Amino acid sequence: MHLIFGGTFDPVHHGHLRLAIELKERLGVARVALVPCHIPPHREQPGADSARRLELLKLAITGEPGLVVDDRELFRAGASFTADTLRQLRRELGEHEPLAMAVGTDAFATFDHWRDWQCIPELAHIIVVNRPGSALAPEGEPAKLLSSRRADTADQLHCQPAGLVFGVEVPLLSISATGIRSCIEQGQSPRYLLPDSVWDAIRSNGLYGAGSRKR
């Protein structure tokens, strides 16, 4: 099964990386592809440009064979829409290869506002990662989708190319990219919230308001 985990990764941190490893092991896949977004259609614009975020992401996964970077969205003009990415992947993988995308409950709660959202379950399985404090409205379209397409085990995802929704509970580190950016802007150290290689690159390039402060 081909599993993707998208986001702005602005910047990538240990919460992203640990979640990717948890998903890899829980779902029994060889690797997880991290897909950095170029222009997010439903949130504020990233604090670092696409090239810098890609550089940080590659630094973060160095030495971890279970994680790879898929940079296809960075080379598409305009906003990055999940349906477009899944269509492209489906063409590459063929009709029969299982394809899945991971999304948090907070993002899945607004799934019916995504462009071409009705097409997405026909292209890929949806892995919904429970996030504390996020819940689905019981009468909303996302909850209905989860109920009607629910998979009971991860093994089911490997038996068909798309169409299932699987909820997972995995340990989540309470780290946010927003908090890291705020920390850096205030002149504080974000060390241990993200890989040292990423923090070194942020400081070296003066990203997010970082100067030449010592760690």
Q: What is the pTM of this model?
A: 0.92
- What is the identity of the amino acid at 211? G
pLDDT at 138: 79
- What is the identity of the amino acid at 162? A
Q: What is the assigned CATH class of domain 2-209? A: alpha beta
Question: Mean pLDDT over residues 150-155, rounded?
Answer: 96
Burial class (CB in 10 A: 0-12, 13-18, 19+), 207: buried
pLDDT at 68: 98
- Buried b / exposed e along 67-79 (16+ C-beta atoms within 10 A): bbbbbbbbeeeee
Q: What is the pLDDT of residues 8-45, one digit of tens each?
A: 999 999 999 999 999 999 999 999 999 999 988 766 78
Residue 145 structure tokens: 């989708």
Q: What is the pLDDT of residues 171-209, one digit of tens each?
A: 889 999 999 999 999 999 999 999 999 999 999 999 999
pLDDT at 22: 97
Q: What is the pLDDT of residues 61-89, one digit of tens each?
A: 999 999 999 999 998 888 899 999 999 99
- Buried b / exposed e along 144-181 (16+ C-beta atoms within 10 A): ebbeeeebeebeebeeebbebbbbeeeeeeebebeebb
pLDDT at 79: 87
49 with 87: CB under 8 angstroms?
no
**3-class DSSP state for residue 7?**
strand
Q: What is the pLDDT of residues 111-149, one digit of tens each?
A: 999 999 999 999 999 999 987 766 777 788 999 999 999
Q: How far apart are CA 16 and CA 85, in angstroms?
A: 20
